Structure 1
Amino acid sequence: MHIPSGFNIVTPYFFVRDAESFVRFLIQGLGGEETCRSMRPNGEIANAQVRLGTSTVMISEATPHYPAMAAAYYLYVEDADQAMQLALQHGATLEMAVEDMPYGDRQGGVRDAHGNIWWLSQRLVDEAYQP
């Protein structure tokens, strides 16, 4: 099996209204980098790809056939407090303040303007999760 560089076995694909502003949030609010974009004849994003760390996500403008849908994502970051501030500065709203968790992560949560929840997590220990 061949998987393109920057992609993983599971790759999130976002269908959102106002895909342009969502791509902007991924870049400015979560520190992503746009790597690819194709447009529809009407000027809407058909497919954009944004790399977040070692993962790529795909984004498309919602359509009646593929309506907008929100979900929750767990995003590992270098510094959870800093990532939280950046996301909030770029339009996210607070879901949960950053704090140390019993499973070894420092974590907080935000909701973006498109309804997605992002759990911003900084791993504090170099070991597997313990039940």
Structure 2
Amino acid sequence: MNKIFDTYRPGGFGTVNSYLFVENPVELIDFLKAAFYAVEINRSTHPQTGNIANVILKIGTSCFMISQASGEFLNMRTAFYLYVNNVDEIHKRAVNNGAKVEFEPSDMDYGDRQSGVVDPSGNYWWISKRLIEKDYQE
């Protein structure tokens, strides 16, 4: 590994981490807690507005951040690839908590069982379980 990346990172954070700016962060945070067992690590708000300045959430072993969209930090959408043990169960939890179905759980030819949902903020979540214990490049 290049020495430039050899630095302290807080637990749950990797070299690259997601940071979302969304129109309704409370709605997204509540969805992520209910659908994907997200745990809130930290929350800070703007003293003047009370808007969310930054929330750190952890899903499984990964942390990421969410903030209120405003000014030059417009509402952003992205896609996540979420590894789980039971795709069908998590897919159902997501849908039952307000996600829209992009595609139903199915076995893919590259060795994953996968489904796709869209969260209330418009982000795509590919919910996946590796069916073979092999890296993708093998």
Place the TM-score, normalised by the shorter chain, in its bin: over 0.9
Is 1:60 aligned to residue 80 of structure 2?
A: no
- Structure 2 counterpart of 1:30: 36
In structure 2, C-alpha distance between the alignment counterparts of 1:2 and 1:16, rounded to whole Å: 28
- Structure 1 counterpart of 2:104: 97
Alpha-carbon displacement from aligned partner over 1:89-124 (angstroms, at most 9, x marks no partner): 111000011001111110000001111000000111
In structure 1, C-alpha distance between the alignment counterparts of 2:134 and 2:92, rounded to whole Å: 27
Q: Helix, strand or coil: the match of 1:114?
A: coil
Is 1:70 aligned to residue 77 of structure 2?
A: yes
In structure 1, C-alpha distance between the alignment counterparts of 2:58 and 2:133, rounded to whole Å: 24
Matched residue count: 131
Quote the sequence identity (%). 41
- Structure 1 counterpart of 2:26: 20
In structure 2, C-alpha distance between the alignment counterparts of 1:26 and 1:113, rounded to whole Å: 10
Residue 17 of structure 1 deviates from its aligned partner by: 0.6
Work out which of the residue numbers 116, 119, 134 in structure 2 matches 1:127: 134
Contact preservation (8 Å) 1:103, 1:130? no
Gaps of 5+ in 1: none
In structure 1, C-alpha distance between the alignment counterparts of 2:129 and 2:109, rounded to whole Å: 13
- Match for 1:101: what amino acid? M
In structure 1, C-alpha distance between the alignment counterparts of 2:50 and 2:25, rounded to whole Å: 11
Residue 49 of structure 1 deviates from its aligned partner by: 0.6
Report the TM-score when normalising by structure 2: 0.91
Contact preservation (8 Å) 1:74, 1:121? yes
The two structures, once aligned, show a CA RMSD in angstroms of 1.0
Contact preservation (8 Å) 1:94, 1:109? yes
Residue 130 of structure 1 deviates from its aligned partner by: 4.2
Residue 69 of structure 1 deviates from its aligned partner by: 0.8
